[in-house]
Amino acid sequence: AQSVTQLGSHVSVSEGALVLLRCNYSSSVPPYLFWYVQYPNQGLQLLLKYTSAATLVKGINGFEAEFKKSETSFHLTKPSAHMSDAAEYFCAVSDHGNNRLAFGKGNQVVVIP
Amino acid sequence: GAGVSQSPSNKVTEKGKDVELRCDPISGHTALYWYRQSLGQGLEFLIYFQGNSAPDKSGLPSDRFSAERTGGSVSTLTIQRTQQEDSAVYLCASSLASGANTGELFFGEGSRLTVL
């Protein structure tokens, strides 16, 4: 089964600094990859997705992610953190054979003023 | 409503009691998923419904867990004889038929279950 690994459950970043959240996947076939965001007291919402088109994917709120097959990675970045970016971020991979998404353990992002 | 609706939003129960959690998906979405979110554990897949097909129950952790989806719409997740380890947020998501491939899953706000 496909899976994703997110390291570092809590990530602290200063306001205005780069946000970098790492995601590595394991897959025997070309995957579809996703980042979801969960703001406090809200449901998860799709931030961006990679479905075998452009390897650099842009999402909402200034986030982007790059698919690197050689590194089996799909890291999420944002050049300048904003206080409103404080949330939990989940990387996910599509398990084509079973019609489900497999999620990582998530990164809780704290933005320091 | 426009989004996925879950109820109750919070449920506190005593060990050994049965609980039912409800999910009302977005109208027209044929796929429905239940996930469990435990502290530090990410999202754990529980069960998947697609139209009138037999559900994929492979993620249910024990036979105390069951789910049904009536009329292809509302779903109920039932946990019998609850245990403290069942305490978690139970998330429901719905999507169009190809949701798992496109990532377009729409999540509810979840039902937080606390077993004392």
Report pLDDT for A100: 79
Q: How far apart are CA A51 and CA B20, in angstroms?
A: 36
Q: Which residues in chain A are contacts of B100 at CB distance < 8 A? A: 94-96, 98-101
| Local confidence band at B100 (pLDDT 50, 70, 90 cut-offs) | low
Report pLDDT for B41: 79
Chain B residues whose C-beta is within 8 A of a chain A C-beta are 3-4, 31, 33, 35, 40-43, 45, 48, 50, 56, 58-59, 91, 93, 100-110
Burial of B16 (0-12, 13-18, 19+ CB in 10 A): exposed
Residues paired with residue B37 on neighbouring β-strands, in sequence order:
B43, B89
Please, which residues have CB within 8 angstroms of residue A84's CB and are 6 or more apart in sequence?
Answer: A61
Are B86 and B69 a contacting pair, CB within 8 Å? no
Are A58 and A108 a contacting pair, CB within 8 Å? no
Please, which residues have CB within 8 angstroms of residue A58's CB and are 6 or more apart in sequence?
Answer: A48, A64
Rounded to the nearest 5°, which phi and psi values hold at B74?
-65, 140
Given an 8 Å threshold on Cβ–Cβ distance, is B103 in contact with A99? Answer: no
Are A93 and A3 a contacting pair, CB within 8 Å? yes
Peptide bond into A79 cis (omega under 30): no
Q: What is the mean pLDDT of chain B?
A: 91
Q: Which residues in chain B are contacts of A32 at CB distance < 8 A? A: 101-103
Comparison of pLDDT for B56 and A18, the residue scoring more: A18
- In tens, the pLDDT along A58-107 reads 999 999 999 998 999 999 999 999 999 999 999 998 876 667 788 999 99
Alpha-carbon Rg for chain B, nearest whole angstrom, is 13
Comparison of pLDDT for A30 and B113, the residue scoring more: B113
DSSP A19-88: EEE--EEE-SSPPPEEEEEE-TTS--EEEEEESSS-SEEE-GGG-EEEEEGGGTEEEEEESS--GGG-EE
Q: How far apart are CA B34 and CA A41, in angstroms?
A: 18
Q: How far apart are CA A58 and CA A52, in angstroms?
A: 14
